[in-house]
Chains A and B, each alone.
Chain A
């Protein structure tokens, strides 16, 4: 047996030099957690699609940069009419798709019309809802007319769902994406990786990397060893926060904790007793210890929030002390609501560790005030079907990762079933208000309203646990949109 072990040891030892060659110049192995179902951002909601192709393979009229600002994309410039309803985009010249066809106003028209069509399978159709009509003025200009002024329209056009596709290649984009970006698609080994290579015919500054590979590693333990072994050079968002300390201590790696747009909340079914009683929701708010949740579930990474708003946004109001941790207060609120002896409820937990771990901790915290939670782990498919579409849940934990999504609280029959005239009023005001200062004031009011109503348990803003080889430069530190923009990435010489 001993001899056998030695033999095994010697043959695995041969692996080491092999792993080093992967980190060659001009090539990046990027680790991502989820494999996209396909590679067409205009036909699916999966963030995993954007994480591979956004800004690398596909581009839109505008683009969102690393700071979340709107920058010119395929449109080199634009002007907006005084009533805020007409947008005139000037397209870049000499842009070609990866299949060699020219990108012009016909393709832009085709892309937008395809997205707003009745049989469109675009997952963010709502983004295009304000559009009344699109028209081309020659090959180089596109005019978009809106039904009403829309504050975020240019930002919305920067989403992955709004990229410009080629009329000739659009149907094949799921398996063979053809865009205008700095990288072309090479191949996709299902269940393992997508390979990209530099587009030498790119219209702008060429990419510094010759090739890039996205490796799909959903298992946190496998992710750790892939990083350690150098199989992967970078993880923009590492799946296991518990291992960040170890990477920080290792000079080979650079750890960057950035921000995301993910408000992680204890979604509460406001339409279902006893959670329709504001006192019960307030009691829960008083019983939740955010610090324990952030420490226990996220190993300290995450910013506490008191409402549904990102702390790095200029209009953010700190409401984390509206319901301080106070078990006595919580118990008396429970008693007031007629639940002095507590009650039983369920909590449905989707797969990410923030939900599974956070759910266990919350269950133990709410037990203190007499709420016995039955934990029901669910797959995303079940979560979508039962909790999200069917509203069949009491509590659930989920991170809302779309940017500036406070508007979901005004949606009719959204899954947490919150109805507030006051809040809807703020949203209407926001839609028509164009002055930045006034907009921020309305946003503050809206945040306070949600906090006051204790709509959901507001837990923390999801952090972005970036870890990469210390020699890799140019990766995004934050994620204003779900993307791994490799345009500016390079290896330090």
Chain B
């Protein structure tokens, strides 16, 4: 187990390092001079040179790479070119939008999907099952940003209940802030919920075939009791693993959904930083996002290993 853990940890670090190198070199060749972007069309050459020196852009690439990596190691993310504040501060301001959004979406999709999946399985091949499976197919097919647009059309344009975007801010109070995340979270949750419903359904169906459920039934437990007490609990293990794996989809989803609803989260920060050539912010963000995906996958892997000892020796998963 220890060997497995060490191996996985080394992998984790290696992945992050490769990610950092890739991101850095990609941004090195990205056209667009951040100093020019800041000074605009009437900038004089000497003004530009002064600003480039101030931003440290005149140093060779490898110096800047090691400075950056060194900074990352010590938790010093550098200063944003455009905002001139520490990047950690910027990211901190945005995480409080993106993270709650992702958590809300995850919660919503779980709360919707698991009961629906179990119900579908318990009515296997009956009308309700077919209807739910069909609905899930639709849910998977609908692009989340279009679903978001439809929600806006209904709730903002037609009913005029909510603004079509923007974030009230946590200091406006818990409820207003949560409300501005509600539609985005719902839009984000739909495709996830659809996938999760299908996974739950098939997982429960599989467990229902297994011996212990039959035994429980034979012992005189009612169908429903057997379902909820035994089948669901066991069926949830693969479901939870899938939930973990869906994290990276969710992360990608927030990038696009934040753009639809104009939420000041990490996704928008990334877009804005690319557009304004705030390279240091782009670098930090990409490594952070990739890092969190790798970390979640790592945790899921560990979960797998705990649940299924056979995998510990194998190293990879198929």
Contacts and interface: CB of A to CB of B under 8 A. Distances in A.
A118 interface: yes
B165 A125 contact: no
Interface stretch (B16-24, B154-162, B212-220, B293-301): B154-162
Contacts of B31: 381-382, 385-386
A156 interface: no
B262 A190 contact: no
B156 A121 contact: no
B164 A221 contact: yes
Given A121-B50, A219-B262, A190 B93 contact: yes
B85 A191 contact: no
Given A8-B186, A15-B162, A222-B163, A381 B261 contact: no
B112 interface: yes
Chief secondary structure at chain B's binding surface: helix
Interface size class on chain A is: 35 or more
A345 B318 CA distance: 50
A229 B163 contact: yes
B153 to A, nearest CB: 11
Interface residues of B, number: 57
B47 A120 contact: yes
Given A37-B83, A217-B262, A384-B37, A222 B43 contact: no
A379 B167 CA distance: 25
Contact of B37 (A35, A126, A229, A381): A381
Interface in A28-76: 35, 37-38, 44-46
B197 to A, nearest CB: 12
Contact of A13 (B42, B84, B161): B161
B82 A37 contact: yes
A190 B85 contact: yes
Interface string A120-132: 1111111000000
B163 A121 contact: no
Interface string B144-175: 00000000100111001111111101000001
A16 interface: yes
Contacts of B34: 381
Contacts of B274: 379
Interface stretch (B65-73, B264-272, B302-310): B264-272
Interface in A97-145: 118-126
A385 B36 contact: yes
A68 B308 CA distance: 75
A189 B169 contact: yes
B182 interface: yes
B90 A228 contact: no
A228 B160 contact: yes
Contacts of A189: 93, 169, 264
B53 to A, nearest CB: 9
Contact of A225 (B43, B164, B179, B264): B164
Contacts of B276: 37, 380-381
B283 to A, nearest CB: 16
A229 B155 CA distance: 12
Interface in B81-122: 82-85, 90, 93-94, 112
A123 B85 contact: no
A366 B178 CA distance: 50
Contacts of A121: 39, 47, 50-51, 54
B275 interface: yes
Given A174-B84, A175-B84, A190-B83, A123 B40 contact: yes
B43 A123 contact: yes
B46 interface: yes
A380 B183 CA distance: 31
Contacts of A14: 175, 179
A123 B39 contact: yes
A117 to B, nearest CB: 9
Interface string B39-62: 111111011001100100000000
A224 B166 contact: no
A103 to B, nearest CB: 24
Interface string A365-389: 0000000000000011110111011
A27 to B, nearest CB: 14
A351 B276 CA distance: 12
Contacts of B275: 351, 379-381
B277 interface: yes
A16 B272 CA distance: 31
A347 to B, nearest CB: 18
Given A191-B94, A191-B268, A381-B275, A118 B36 contact: no
Given A12-B182, A119-B50, A388-B41, A192 B164 contact: no
Nearest to A125: B44
B143 interface: no
B302 to A, nearest CB: 35
Interface string B251-282: 00000000101101000110010111100000
A11 interface: yes
Nearest to A216: B264
Given A38-B84, A120-B50, A381-B32, A45 B165 contact: no
B176 interface: yes
9 contacts: A12-B155, A44-B38, A126-B42, A219-B262, A221-B165, A229-B156, A379-B274, A380-B275, A381-B36
User: Which are the 7 A-B pairs with shortest beta-carbon distances?
Assistant: A45-B40, A225-B164, A222-B165, A191-B264, A381-B32, A222-B262, A37-B82
Given A37-B276, A118-B50, 14 more contacts: A12-B179, A16-B161, A190-B83, A191-B94, A192-B169, A218-B262, A222-B261, A225-B157, A229-B160, A231-B163, A381-B32, A381-B33, A385-B31, A389-B33
